[in-house]
Amino acid sequence: MIDKKCKICQDEIDKSSGKFCSNHKLAKSKLQNGYELWLKAYDSLPYDDFLRQLLDLGDLVGALVKDITEFELYFQETK
């Protein structure tokens, strides 16, 4: 059965995302754009390191982005 709840907040999922609600879907896309900019800035940076460094930045990181970061880092089964 397909789970229709957001993996993070249990809200209704956004149909086009299949995994997250619309808010977390937007946060996920911001996170991906952010990673591209971090890659340009540092030349090379593994994705997990990017996520860990992001979590170290505390309140600078948006709450929804933090949710996604933690989910990707600790709960994602396949990366």
Partner 1 sequence: MPPIKGPYVLGVAEKPQAASRLARALDENKKPVLKKIKGVPVYISLRNGKKIVIVPAIGHLLTLSPLSKSWNYPVLDYHWIPSHIANSKARTKNFVDTFKSLSKEASEIIVMTDYDREGEVIGFLILKYLLGKNNAERMKFSTLTARDINEAYSKRSKQLDVGFLNSGLLRHYVDWLYGINYSRALSLALKRVSNRFKTISIGRVQGPTLGAVVNLENEINIFVPIPFWTIESEAIINKKKFKAFYEKTQLDKEKEAKIVVKDCQSLVGIVTDISDEQKPMYSFPPFNLGDLQRESYKHFKYSPSKTLKIAESLYLKATISYPRTDSQKLPMTLGHKIILTKIGNQTVYGTFIIEILKRKKFKPREGRKTDAAHPAIHPTGNPPKTLNSEEKKLYDLIVRRYLSLFGKPALISKKKIEITVEGHKFEVRGSKIIDEGWIKYYKPYFYMSESLIPDIALKSQVNFSFIESKEDFSSPPRRFNESTLLNKMEQEKIGTKATRAGIIETLFDRGYIGGSEIRPTPLGTAVVGVLNSHYPVLIKSDMTRELETTMEEVQEKQSNINEILISIKKNLRDSLNVFHENETEIGISLYQNLLNIEKKDPVLIGKCPECKVGDLRIIKSRKSGKRFIACSSYFDKEINCTVTFPLPNYGTIKPTDKKCTFDGLPMVEWQTGRNKRVMCVSMDCPSKANIKGRKKK
Residues that bind partner 1 (CB under 8 A): 9, 11, 23, 26-27, 30-31, 33-34, 37-38, 40-43, 54, 57, 60-65
Closest distance to partner 1 from the beta carbon of 18 (Å): 19
Report yes or no: 31 and 69 within 8 Å, Cβ to Cβ. Answer: yes
Task: Kindly tell me which of 44 and 77 has the beta carbon lying closer to partner 1.
Answer: 44
61: its two tokens = 């990181």
Q: Output DSSP code: residue 17.
A: T
Task: Kindly tell me which of 63 and 77 has the beta carbon lying closer to partner 1.
Answer: 63
Report yes or no: 66 and 52 within 8 Å, Cβ to Cβ. Answer: no
Q: How far apart are CA 12 and CA 21, in angstroms?
A: 6
Closest distance to partner 1 from the beta carbon of 13 (Å): 14
